[in-house]
Amino acid sequence: MVDLGSQYLRIKDEIDKAVQDTLSSTQYIQGPQVKTFQAALETYLGVRHVIPCANGTDALQIAFMALGLQPGDEVIVPSFTYVATAEVIALLHLKPVMVDVDPDTFNITADIIEKAITPRTKAIVPVHLYGQSADMEDIMALAEQHNLFVVEDNAQAIGADYTFKNGVVKKTGTIGHIGCTSFFPSKNLGCMGDGGAMMTNDDALAAKLRMIANHGQQKKYYHDVTGVNSRLDSLQAAILNIKLRHLDEYSAARQSAAAFYDEAFQNIQELQTPARQHNSTHVFHQYTLRVKNSRRDDLQAYLSEKGIPSMIYYPVPLYKQKAFEKYVPAGFTLPVTEQLCREVISLPIHTEMDGELLGFISESVCSFFE
């Protein structure tokens, strides 16, 4: 699905030197690499504050800890997403309220969210699934109207641009009150271990996030709130400092692979290629097709026989997961999520694909439908 080996080889000299320098420095925790990366990412994203942490799940958890919500407060989340989004909400004794998604963009919309708002709703988590922004302008307007926090799960869309109606362009993850991202190796900006970060333009929230991520202390050994220990280590920061410089070129490589696939599949009636939203760029964390006529699993088996990997993100709606049983009434169902779980398939997409590889994969997909 990804080719991290070839990607590493292309920047091996730079990475090896950064790692070696960090090893020699012995500042493995909170070394200068972390501050350098923080500043570079703030500049890249055009956001006042980046707060690095240990992984994307922690970023979401710390974000929710900082909002000062009460047990039982409701948080609206898409049911078609990675588990982490809802997991941290449950962990903090908040109530995940799962909603359906748009069948074309796979993201939640203001219309869908509005129907789920109750007097207990306190926050919304738009997930920019597969690399394309949810419709943030409408979501922010709705949130303001109902006095709700917006926490963006930007783990799959770092680098994507969202354009407002007045022409202003912002990076995903910098539009809501807090944005969260992951530097898991296979993410669009991946390190070589675990890593994550929170983003915000709010100075007070930034101070709170930083404090919670650091044992609830602002001054060493003086703990104002119950926090956690969540740090991006210096080695990962050193690696990310290099990879961030390549992020736009990585996004462009993913976009051209996606364009290749789109063209190859345009005449296959049984496939729906990924929709592009007019106000967001798509950085293609995943290239995800919908397969009609219940043929998805057969296509996956066919590709597998040819040695082509594919993945189902995600096979089970969150509300059908045992872990979330208690948050949904018996028989609860969301039709689009159900259908997507049956129809989606993600093809290999990464920064190292050449015409030969793309040709082989797309010809194989096409031959299944002949």
Cβ(254)–Cβ(349) below 8 Å:
yes
* Residues 6 or more apart in contact with residue 17 via CB below 8 angstroms: none
Give the CB-nearest residue to ligand PLP. Answer: 56
For residue 328, give the amino acid letter: V
Using rule CB under 6 A, residue 38 touches ligand PLP = no
Q: How many residues bind ligand PLP (CB under 6 A)?
A: 15
Among 155, 235, 271, 344, binds ligand PLP (CB under 6 A): 155
Stretch that binds ligand PLP, among 4-12, 77-85, 166-174, 264-272 (CB under 6 A): 77-85
| C-alpha 366 chain-centroid distance | 29
Q: How far is the CB of 21 from ligand PLP (least distance, A)?
A: 25
Among 7, 61, 81, 310, binds ligand PLP (CB under 6 A): 81
Both tokens of residue 223? 């703990």
Using rule CB under 6 A, residue 107 touches ligand PLP = no
Using rule CB under 6 A, residue 302 touches ligand PLP = no
Using rule CB under 6 A, residue 182 touches ligand PLP = yes
Q: How far is the CB of 236 from ligand PLP (least distance, A)?
A: 11
Interface positions, 193-212, toward ligand PLP (CB under 6 A):
194, 196
Cis peptide before 221 (omega within 30 of 0): no
Q: 196-213: buried (b, 16+ CB within 10 Å) or exposed (e) per residue? A: bbbbbbeeebbebbbbbb
Using rule CB under 6 A, residue 132 touches ligand PLP = no
CA 128, 132, 134, 137: dihedral to nearest 10 degrees?
130
For residue 329, give the amino acid letter: P
Using rule CB under 6 A, residue 133 touches ligand PLP = no
Using rule CB under 6 A, residue 96 touches ligand PLP = no
Q: How far is the CB of 57 from ligand PLP (least distance, A)?
A: 3
N-terminal to C-terminal alpha carbon distance within the chain: 24
Cβ(267)–Cβ(256) below 8 Å:
no
Using rule CB under 6 A, residue 55 touches ligand PLP = yes
Q: Count other C-beta atoms under 10 Å from residue 265's C-beta.
A: 18
Using rule CB under 6 A, residue 346 touches ligand PLP = no
Q: Which residue has the tokens 């202390």?
A: 217
- The secondary structure of residue 54, as a DSSP letter, is S
Q: How far is the CB of 322 from ligand PLP (least distance, A)?
A: 19
Summarize as ranges the residues that interact with ligand PLP (CB under 6 A). 55-57, 81-82, 84-85, 127, 153, 155-156, 182, 184, 194, 196
